[in-house]
Structure 1
Amino acid sequence: YVLQAFLGQGAFGFLLSARTRDTHERVTLKFMRKAKMSPEMMTEDDQGVAVPREFEMLRRCAKYEYILDYVDHHQTDVYWILVTKLFGVPWDKATAAQTSETAMDLPQLVATPAERQEFSLQREQAAAAAASVRPAAAAADAESAKPVQHQGVAALFEHGCMTRPVSHDLFECIDAHIQQPATTGANGLPPYLARYVFAQVALAVGYLHQRNIFHRDIKDENCLVDAMYRVRLIDFGSVTELPYGENNVQFTDFVGTMTYAPPQAVLHEPFLPAKNETWALGVLLYTMVFGCNPFASTEEALRGLRHIPDPDGIVDADLRSLLKGCLRVDEKQRYGITEILTSPWLYAQARALDPNGLVMRRFPARAGSTRRRQMVKSATEATEPANGLALAAEL
């Protein structure tokens, strides 16, 4: 591999982008220090060889489109090295402005006529302001000036061998779309884009849940996004798997990010791993639409979602219902992944993004509505004719 750029660092190591010497394919190398890895972080692959659990779980799950592509893994005396395909684009205001101009033309995007009309209006307004957006390179230059903590990587920077790009994750994507000052109450991704991105994350989670696999750290920083708003779920370091049939096993140890933790985890009470993740999906969706976390404090999270700000009337009833369903305090009443993927706000988009039915064929359609029929029309136009007709017939 030819090393190219420093992408980040964590408790166990660091990330570099690179290209392969033979095919010139762009990849990401995740270096994990062996000395910092506990026995619980290891497992056996199909050949009975000990490997990091993260590597093996990603290898098994990466067959699905919305999960990061596994390429290979290696080891040295010091490091385990995970190789994955490099994905995403550096997100800043310029990237957001450029990609938003053609967002309604994204493959398989489902949108209502009202959303398309609103998009046309916003595109006209954005065109007038586009000249004032600073170039993407300026943000990258600012990032490259930050110090690097890892000694070996720092040496590469000092010799001019590497650059530091802006992050490719959903956190930066959302931040790049936030308007300063805010022009609406929903100051994140436009609802149709939020639905498009969120459907991909929910499909990835659905794929895992159908196999009794739980990611355990769903958040915006663990989703990579490219210029076409395609998503890849990453970071399988906390993933766990339960035997088939043991769907009601409760966990007592929370290992994710506390701002995405459900009330049960905050109170150190037992919780169902599936409902833990649907709470995290609710926090993620709210953050995507409003540009901020739904709860300003732990105390607010313990009370659940009680108020959805919408002074401009952008958040429709179906989206409100989905958010409230995901963020219910009582996990018995909280939506599961089935309720999320079959919700009126998301179902048509999820079906369009899963044309082979790898996930959605297991979920029955709910009763139709006028809004859904409008969205089905868009879905049939956005997918292959055969898939579109099948979707329309099912709905």
Structure 2
Amino acid sequence: MSAIHRHEGHEVAVKFIIKSKIPEHSWAYDDDGNRIPLEAKMLSLVNHPGIIKFIDLFEDEVYFYLVEELHGTPWSAGVKFSKLPDSATMPSRSSSSNTSVSDVLADNIYRASQYSTRKPEDSSLGLHLREEHSDGVDHRTPSKPEFVRRPSRDLFECIEQSEYKRLSEADARYIFAQVVDIVDYLDDEGITHRDVKDENLVIDENLKVKLIDFGSVVITDPTQPRPYYDLFYGTAAYASSEILRKMPYQAPPAEIWTLGVLLSYLLTGSSPFPSETHALEGKVKLDEQCGARVSRSCLHLMKRCLDADPERRADIKEVKAHPWLKGALARRC
């Protein structure tokens, strides 16, 4: 949902995080020793134009309220893409130090003034959610407060509202290149999102995307071999072959698989796999009508992302350097 800053007047996004639902591995500590969501702390430390910006954090007994920038166009019938000039470019990353996010989190270094554990009723955002009743009983429940649903700003809705419920290869290339750049930045920091999908990417009319919802994030030392996981945190339609086989998996190769699935949704509006058997074996089979329009280079990249063997699957550096993405961020072709 969104909220209005009372004094500055700008609109922000607010994510409700139920405290009791946060897994043990998804907690971090602030400088006062208070437990806060790992998602919030990580967002306050990263710096990339394609990652949603952290603004503030509030809490009460039931929720954390994660306040973030509001990005994207409200997609509804009739909304059209804006044509970008030939010189349109992706904003460059800000320069960073040699200290990785994983180092900061591991050492419990906390950036003072970025977090607040103020109660929401003290906020200038006006998140007055607690109500006292005359019977003296606390009737608060962990359900989300009521709000008016607005048109979605995510990539899923953008695709759904497009004329053919799929994007042109040129637009898909531009969007996909941005997502790859985000994943590459996070990988350098030892961070894996673990739920990259169209519904977790907000997009504006100029096709600028930002990654949101880091509730499944894992952070490790980028200089060390990545650990293996047994539990899957993500979306079933994007689950890699090794996850579907219920095998221990590493997060970065599984993330590459999700990129391949995302690319198919961008180009065809559907999964690259007509059945779970196809997914288990990594056999890409695009809809004939849509697949016929996909270039050979694009299809090659998709298949490199969707290799059933995580050892042979492309890594993020290979994906980023693929010929299909050459110059994609510098110019819409």
Q: TM-score w.r.t. structure 2 length?
A: 0.78
* Post-superposition CA distance 1:133-187 (Å, at most 9, x none): xxxxxxxxxxxxxxxx987733xxxxxxx532111111111111152xxxxxxx6
How many Å apart are 1:224 and its aligned residue? 0.4
Structure 2: which amino acid aligns with 1:94? Answer: G
Give the residue type in structure 2 aligned to 1:74. F
Determine if contact 1:106/1:228 at 8 Å carries over to the other structure.
no
Indicate the residue corresponding to 1:139 in structure 2: none
Q: Distance in 2 between matches of 1:341 and 1:242?
A: 21
Q: 1:77, CA displacement in angstroms?
A: 2.6
Structure 1 CA distance for aligned equivalents of residues 24 and 262 of structure 2:
32
Code of the residue aligned with 1:295 in structure 2: it is F
Q: Is the 8 A contact 1:212 1:247 kept in 2?
A: no
Q: Which position in structure 1 is the counterpart of 2:40? A: 55
Q: Cα RMSD over matched residues?
A: 2.4
User: In the alignment, which residue of structure 1 is the partner of 2:168?
Assistant: 190
**Separation in 1, partners of 2:212, 2:279:** 25
1:221 — aligned with what? 199
Cα 1:39–1:277 shift into 2, 3 Å: closer
Q: Kindly indicate whether residue 52 of structure 2 is the aligned counterpart of residue 71 of structure 1.
A: no
Which residue of 2 is the match for residue 283 of structure 1?
A: 261
Equivalent residue in structure 1 for 2:30, among 45, 50, 57? 45
Amino acid in structure 1 at the alignment position of 2:195: D
Q: What secondary structure sits across from 2:81 in the alignment?
A: helix
Corresponding position of 1:173:
158
Alignment match, 2:295: 316
Contact 1:250 1:272 in 2 (8 A): yes
Cα pair distance change 1:152/1:84, threshold 3 Å: closer
1:19: which partner in 2?
A: 4
Q: Bigger CA drift: 36-45 or 338-347? A: 36-45
Q: 1:152 to 1:281 in 2, by over 3 A?
A: closer
Could you tell me which residue of structure 2 aligns to residue 212 of structure 1? Answer: 190
Residue in 1 aligned with 2:309?
330
Q: Structure 1 residues 47, 317: closer, same or farther in 2, change over 3 A?
A: farther
| Contact 1:170-1:221 at 8 Å conserved across structures | yes
Instruction: Provide closer, same or farther for how the CA distance between residues 93 and 104 of structure 1 changes in structure 2, counting only shifts above 3 A.
Output: farther
1:332 Cα deviation from its structure 2 partner = 1.4
Which residue of 1 is the match for residue 111 of structure 2? none
1:108 counterpart residue number:
89
Q: C-alpha distance in 2, partners of 1:308/1:295?
A: 7
User: How many Å separate the matches in 2 of 1:279 and 1:106?
Assistant: 31
CA shift digits 1:272-299 (9 cap, x unpaired): 2111000000000011001111123211
Structure-1 residue corresponding to 2:320: 341
Aligned length: 282
Once residues 291 and 56 of structure 1 are traced to their aligned partners in structure 2, the CA distance between those partners, rounded to angstroms, is 34
SS in structure 2 at match of 1:29: strand
Q: 1:237 and 1:106, CA in 2 relative to 1: closer, same or farther beyond 3 A?
A: farther
SS in 1 for 2:202: strand
Identity among equivalent positions (%) equals 34
- Given that 2:273 and 2:286 are in contact with CA atoms closer than 8 Å, whether structure 1 keeps it comes out as no
What are the ranges of 5 or more consecutive residues in structure 2 without an aligned counterpart? 91-140
Alignment of 1:136-285 (within 5 A): 153-154=145-146, 163-179=148-164, 188-285=166-263
Distance between the aligned counterparts of 2:280 and 2:16, measured in 1?
37
1:94 corresponds to which of 68, 78, 91: 78
1:304 equivalent in alignment to 2:282? yes
Report Cα offsets for 1:31-62 as digits up to 9, x if no partner: 2222433443321135543211111112122x
Higher mean displacement: 37-46 or 198-207: 37-46
Distance 1:104 1:308 in 2: 31
Alignment deviations for residues 71-124 of structure 1 (CA, whole Å, 9 cap, x no partner): 0111123321100011111213311xx226x25668238xxxxxxxxxxxxxxx
Would you say the 8 A contact 2:166–2:268 is kept in 1?
A: yes
Summarize deviations over 1:322-358 as a string: whole Å, max 9, x none: 01111111111111111111000013114x2xxxxxx
Distance 1:193 1:75, change over 3 A: same
- Paired with 1:93 and 1:105, the residues of 2 have a C-alpha distance of 27
